Structure 1
Amino acid sequence: MPMQAHEIEALLRAAFPDAQIEVSGEDGVHMAAMVVDPSFKGQSRVAQQRAVYAALQGAMDGPSGELHALALTTRAPE
């Protein structure tokens, strides 16, 4: 079953309570998310994105994942 934007946002909000989070996409399969969080300061982009994928709790894992594609933008606040 595809994930809706509010479900993705809830998972991200649980992991990054102080973040600015925006999730978009309407088909429930191909989505986009922007996560701006202070914890990303000093981390590489790869480390930031790994943290976000971990927060999704396996939703993108393998062919049975609920979320097929997530265009992801991460950064620390300026």
Structure 2
Amino acid sequence: MPMTATEIEHLIRQSFPDAQIEVQGDDGVHFSAMVIDESFRGMNRVQQQRAVMKALKGKMDGAQGEIHALALTTKAPG
């Protein structure tokens, strides 16, 4: 079942309640997300993106994943 940008934002927000989160995508499978959170300070980009992927709780896992593609931008606040 396709996901919505709002559902993806909700999943991310559960792990990053104070983050600035913007999710875009309207075809149900291809999305882009920007997540800015203080917890990313001191982490490299791979660590930041792994933390966000963990928040998605397997929704991108394998061919049966509900999210086919997610372009992800992460950073600590400026």
* TM range, smaller chain: over 0.9
* Displacement of 1:45: 0.1
RMSD: 0.4
Q: Using the TM superposition, give the Cα deviation of residue 2 of structure 1 relative to its aligned residue in structure 2, in angstroms.
A: 1.1
SS in 2 for 1:52: helix
Task: Provide the C-alpha distance between the structure 1 equivalents of 2:21 and 2:6, rounded to a whole number of angstroms.
Answer: 11
Counting only pairs closer than 5 Å after superposition, residues 38-49 of structure 1 correspond to structure 2 as 38-49=38-49
Identity of aligned residues (%): 68
Q: Could you list the per-position Cα deviations for residues 10-32 of structure 1 after superposition, in whole angstroms to 9, with x for gaps in the alignment?
A: 00111000100000000010000
Tell me, which stretches of 5 or more residues in structure 1 are unaligned?
none
Q: Gapped runs of 5+ residues in structure 2?
A: none
Deviation at 1:69, TM superposition (A): 0.1
SS at match of 1:34: strand
Whole-angstrom distance in 1 between the partners of 2:11 and 2:28: 15
In structure 1, the partner of 2:12 is 12
4+ aligned runs moved over 6 Å, structure 1: none
TM-score by length of 2: 0.99
- 1:65 — aligned with what? 65
CA positional deviation for 1:77: 0.2
Q: TM-score, normalised by structure 1?
A: 0.99
